[in-house]
Structure 1
Amino acid sequence: MVNPHFGEERRRYPRVYASLPMQFRPIGEFDKLPHDTISRDLSEGGIRFSVDRFIPVGTKLVVNVLLESHHEPVRSVAKIIWTRKQQYSDNYEVGCQFINLSEEARQKISKFVAHQPPA
């Protein structure tokens, strides 16, 4: 059986591998400290990172990502689109879609992505 998506990039925005310091906090947990982690990849459309606990698909997060070229983090709300248990680890990997990325934040990410090798 032929996979119609094999070898075909379905993403709207270019994605780059990027190990960037970031924080996240599920919406509604504003009384708790944000969780620190490192991104795995990034695009104007979303971000992938590891977490030390299961977070269900559909959960909305407030994310702050520190791009190498900026002193202030890029802030956005993101929704978890997929989650996957990491092999040989208690951690999970999550893929999130930005859902209210400001134009300023989008431009910062776009500029950052343009100066990185593609994923």
Structure 2
Amino acid sequence: MLRLTRDGSLEATTGELIDDAIGRLERLTADLEALRDGAVPTEADILRDAPGLDQWSVAALAVPCLVGRTWGHPTLPGTGRPIRTSDIWVMAEDHGAVRTISRQYRLGRPADQAETALS
């Protein structure tokens, strides 16, 4: 997660980290587009250079997200509906915004300052 400070600078990160994230997302996008178009990973064309993983199992990875009550959400109707966002990519509290992997959110009051439900 990248954290944007009040003055607009990125906290504890560099342009290199952003470039790395962009590269990873571009490679993921290309792989997903290839799958959509019918390409299946094979030893001959994709997997020959991939690292191996032995004695593997599926696990869960905790990622930062927000929970709260939404308003104006494009796919979740209603006001004050409790939600959990997708994982946070850029946190910009001082700017009243957060960017998750799926969308931007305008931030209202933090939970510790909210006295009543959003109206």
With normalisation by structure 2, the TM-score equals 0.24
With normalisation by structure 1, the TM-score equals 0.24
Relative to total residues, which structure has the larger helix share, 1 or 2?
2
